[in-house]
Structure 1
């Protein structure tokens, strides 16, 4: 039986790389996207063009009915759910004193509420031997200025993940969080000048930004062979302190 993965935020950036990697691993992949269908359809075409199985579906992760419909469609199309990757996320950078509360609420809705809703549905549906992978950020350790609201939303994800792992005792389902460092995606690069990008790329001993594929490699392991890693936050940042 082929494993079946749901990847939220799977049409762009790290989520896209994860979807492609899991398909390469032989998993059928459902790509959940929030807005434009074109990037998601392109990922589906790339996967199916290489002989894989994929489906794209619009789903607002902050809407419990939309998430339920996403899982219903996955089960109807592929017969079940084995892996859930919560890659959907939004980020606004501003000093805490200047942050607009609407921006804070938007990050809360996607990054915390969205993770909670998707995890709740995953906890009810993922089959034995499955895996749930949430996304945090290395900024929770690096404590960089302007990241307070974003880091706070992702710290909540780090709190949820090990608790859910314990709640799924006896189910043979792992739950982990992946915390990327600075990674060359549109989400990260947007609004940063060349000097800032250069400085951040030198902050780790590897002296480069991460790539989406670097992160996808770790997710691939957690979603497949790494069955003895559970309830952990894995910092994927090239060794940044």
Structure 2
């Protein structure tokens, strides 16, 4: 089974890119982030015509998340927001059960500028994520945390790390929070598959970042212990970033062996 994540940076404006990639990559399950579309403007029919059913939580601003699955797979929605706060109206989390797996599509807060309330919100969001996903570990569920974490886990995951020391994506606090998830038992799929390779998933539109491969690794797929042994392969569809008018992120995918 092929499972992927893609920060599309505007699903309607880049719908031809999304559809082309879906047709070429042919994943079974896809998590999308940064829809930048209100609930009623999500392109459900175009997605259905491509062969996928979807659940989503739209938002007009920078947020919005969705889970897509081939029509042969049932999607049972579980959560439309990350539990733990009564005042969080940002669309950053959606959770479902597909093929007996818990799929958690997430789009973590950026947190910039640091320091400030946006960074504090990011840390609070990470605490709620740790609490929610800790339940999956305790129950030994087949679960996947997948999406744009807005976290650069280590200096190895960024071109010229010295330039990012005061950025909320690379602050020690958020890197420690990511490391704490791994310590709890979550497997960083891409780093596990490519332990010694420079792997990036985001290249800024500015300063010819893509041409120079001056990227960062923000998009992650974490597997619970139950699924770790099923990890077969994975990668980053870097070529999509080079398509005209594409997102500044590239799709990331893994393949799991059959049960």
What TM-score do you get using the length of structure 2 for normalisation? 0.47
Higher helix share: 1
TM-score between both structures, scaled by the size of structure 1 = 0.50
